[in-house]
Amino acid sequence: MRWWSWLGAWAFSTYALHAPSSGPDCGGSTGGKACSAPSPAVQACLAAEAARLPTTTDRCERAWQDTRDERVAVAGAYYALNSHDDAALERWGQRALPTTQGARIFEYVGEMRQHHDDFPGAVSSFRRALELQIDRDPARATNTALWLLAMVQGREPAEQSIRLARLAWEQAERSGNELMRPCAAMSLIELLVDIGELPTAAAVIDRMDASKLSGWQAVRDVAMGRLEAARGRTTTSIALFRRAVLRGLSDRTTRSGLPHDAFELVQALLDDGQVSEARRELERARELVEQCELRSQDVQAHLAASEAAVDLAEGNIDAALVSAERGLAIKPLEAARVRLLNVRGDALARRGDAVAAEQAWREAADSVEAWRVSIPTTQLRSGLVARHRHVLESWLDSTGQRGDADGALEVTRRIIGRDLLDRIYQREVNAPATADASIREIEARLADRRELAVTMAGTQGRDLRDVTHDMVAIMVGARSVWAIRRAYGRWSIASVGDRTTIREWVDTYRSHLDDPVIAGRLGEALFPEVALPTAGAPLVVMLDPELSDVALAGMRVGGKYLVEHAPILEVLAPDLLFTPVPRGPWGSAVAIGDPQGDLPDAADEIRAVVEETGATEHLGTGATRAVLQASRRAHLLHIATHSKIDDGRAMFALSDDVLSSNEIVNLKIAPRLAVIATCRSQVDDHPVRSLVAAFLAAGSPAVIGVKRALDDKDGAALMRGFYHLHGARDPLRALALAQRAAIAAGLPPSAWATVSFFGVGGWLEP
């Protein structure tokens, strides 16, 4: 169970969940006589319960028969719970009324069932209690939601965990309880960071800061530390975790519930190469675990993972394996399980047991995959693979070293295009948002499920081994970069270089695009001439997300640019390879540009598009949201405007408003060909950050985008050539012809190589 859920439940239950039943709590009662002065029979029941007398059950039974007073039922149920009289507690549960007092009885019944390992029964009881407490008793609703969260996490779909964490936070905000608010917020933050939804986690942390929670600064330190660690800012995260640990050791308010900050500090130190310091902090982590009043299985599993990681960093392989096996035997939740399996795989690899190591990494990858599937919205799944990518990279290296192309294809399928395919295969459609106004800005992202896209009947789950044309996937492993190719009718895998070297070459190429030596060094490594298609066939490429902004067309192979060898089709997700080009019907062509009147070259570009294609022109103030939305089924949609990324979302700037990547998908703006003539319209395969990916997710079969910066004049000249060469009809081949014309004219790669064609496999047909 998550420590913040346990901490919240513990902190509140010490004075709320198990508060004396004789108090004046009658808020929200309906029926019964809870608010009246107690009769002698009621007084006798309450006094017996307070003194824990053996006659309590009999006295409360008589008082209930006489008065039907809810205080009697609560007192009798609480006594039955503490005296382990399950039959009596079940009777009180059957008598509970639909009030906040009745909710307390349902909680006691839930505790009893949980003690007997009746998970479904316990969850059902706590859910009934929560339904009665929401908004009517927000403090107890917070506690119940956190208790439920601790129970269901890892046992029910992640949607339930997300909903409960959000509900706990919302109710804690309503209650104003300064003890519960940080616990509820941290439960939500922990979930969000685990699955890589960092912008939302940051927004929740900002709300924690705004509440000025005195005495709970350690909570915010841990939250910020986790966020900074996920962002790769190791030094900052170490300082925050260290401060949180010291506060946890000295502050009696938080001492019983702060072990995970110590685990995070240990991992951050290992990531920073400070092994000796990590060993010292591991001892502090053990001390905190010993002090923790609620040492859950997940706490023990995380401690085992930290011990295993430190042992491995010190070279103690056997000790690391023992710790990893001990943690896995606990059957931990997702995050701890992935971490333990990862350490097990690394340790086995160092021992030389490659087969067992690969099996461990695959199990970890399977855990990540199951975790992803259980998360309801793509906004929340999007970062999970990236956050736990090491296991996939290690698995890839293992398959490559064995020459196992089939295994490498499986890893490729799990890495490339996951965010894009999630949007296309969204499981839930048009589910309503249920956010309270106080957290609407966060809930809008948590419950945004209006994600409709192209119908891809018959393609879902297709295996890359079913591909019938030649192609290559360039993938980054833990130590090597691999080329997984289909050529001459068979698949193969080969290393193109060690990871550090290839990364250095890629970085140099990004900043020296026009240098033929640099372009040749990288091109020869990734695309040897012997493996290129012949007879004018297209080159199909899938790029690892780390390489997604690399300008393929400008690389050099055999003394020529890559685009001179073949037209290049970039595929952002494997399933798109099996998708045909839809037949239509399609609407007329549309050209939109220069909405603010500050892009004169864009205006010239739009006029050239109109001249070549007969498109309807929308320049200046005519370049509106309504025009773009109305182009959802256009044969051609050409857009030459400013674009930007705001709050992690890419968007177009139009004359009257903006249009975001999410809206492109939700509104299904899916022309047959979308040409996005704006810098950095393609940065990766994520439909939120990438306008190209957004159009593909919406259903467009073809998108032309720009990977990096492109001068307006150069872009306009390239687009004129593209349309003159029948780009609206056959964009894949026309773009290659336009780029070859630019080469023949002596233009440098920076004038044309950053423009790429992205689409579905249907474009490979003649």
Which CATH number covers residue 645? 3.40.50.1460
Q: In 153-259, which ranges are continuous DSSP H helix?
A: 158-175, 180-194, 198-210, 217-230, 234-250
Instruction: Report if residue 321 sits inside a domain.
Output: no
Q: How many residues does the chain have?
A: 766
pLDDT at 683: 65
* 547 and 611 housed in the same domain: no
Instruction: Report if residue 394 sits inside a domain.
Output: no
* 697 and 590 housed in the same domain: yes
Instruction: Report if residue 602 sits inside a domain.
Output: yes
Q: Mean pLDDT, to the nearest integer, of 86-91? A: 93
pLDDT at 210: 52
State the pLDDT confidence band at 402, using cuts at 50, 70 and 90. very high
Q: Mean pLDDT, to the nearest integer, of 584-611? A: 88
Domain boundary among 576, 606, 622: 576
State the pLDDT confidence band at 433, using cuts at 50, 70 and 90. very low
* 547 and 654 housed in the same domain: no
> pLDDT tens, 181-238?
777 777 777 777 776 667 677 777 776 655 555 456 777 787 888 788 777 788 888 8
| 64-68, 199-203, 376-380, range with the lowest pLDDT | 376-380
Q: In 374-515, which ranges are continuous DSSP H helix?
A: 378-381, 384-387, 389-401, 405-415, 418-424, 440-446, 499-511
- Distance separating alpha carbons of residues 453 and 699, to the nearest angstrom: 5
Domain boundary among 576, 608, 628: 576
pLDDT at 574: 87
* 587 and 636 housed in the same domain: yes
Across all residues in the chain, what is the average pLDDT? Answer: 82
Alpha-carbon Rg for the chain, nearest whole angstrom, is: 30
* 607 and 559 housed in the same domain: no
Question: Cβ(324)–Cβ(343) under 8 Å?
Answer: yes
pTM: 0.75
Instruction: Report if residue 556 sits inside a domain.
Output: yes
pLDDT at 250: 55
* 746 and 659 housed in the same domain: yes
Instruction: Report if residue 705 sits inside a domain.
Output: yes
* 636 and 515 housed in the same domain: no
CB-based contacts of 575: which residues, under 8 Å, 6+ apart? 417, 421, 424, 456, 459, 460, 461, 462
> pLDDT tens, 525-558?
999 998 898 888 999 999 998 898 899 999 999 9
pLDDT at 434: 30
Asked whether the predicted pLDDT for residue 309 surpasses 90, the reply is: yes
* 517 and 662 housed in the same domain: no
- Distance separating alpha carbons of residues 309 and 350, to the nearest angstrom: 13
Question: Cβ(37)–Cβ(9) under 8 Å?
Answer: no
Instruction: Report if residue 479 sits inside a domain.
Output: yes
State the DSSP H helix or E strand holding residue 306, giving kind and residue range, or none if neither.
helix 297-313
| 290-299, 329-338, 618-627, range with the lowest pLDDT | 290-299
* 605 and 714 housed in the same domain: yes
Instruction: Report if residue 551 sits inside a domain.
Output: yes
Asked whether the predicted pLDDT for residue 342 surpasses 70, the reply is: yes
Instruction: Report if residue 525 sits inside a domain.
Output: yes
Asked whether the predicted pLDDT for residue 735 surpasses 50, the reply is: yes
Asked whether the predicted pLDDT for residue 168 surpasses 50, the reply is: yes
- Distance separating alpha carbons of residues 360 and 137, to the nearest angstrom: 46
Q: In 614-660, which ranges are continuous DSSP H helix?
A: 625-629
pLDDT at 604: 86
| 255-264, 305-314, 496-505, 722-731, range with the lowest pLDDT | 255-264
Number of domains in the chain: 2
State the residue range of the domain holding 517.
469-576
State the DSSP H helix or E strand holding residue 41, giving kind and residue range, or none if neither.
helix 40-51
For 660, half-sphere exposure in the C-beta direction (CA atoms, 13 angstrom radius) is 10
CB-based contacts of 441: which residues, under 8 Å, 6+ apart? 203
* 570 and 606 housed in the same domain: no
Domain boundary among 519, 550, 576: 576
State the pLDDT confidence band at 523, using cuts at 50, 70 and 90. very high
- Distance separating alpha carbons of residues 642 and 221, to the nearest angstrom: 38
- Distance separating alpha carbons of residues 559 and 557, to the nearest angstrom: 5
* 541 and 624 housed in the same domain: no
* 697 and 563 housed in the same domain: no
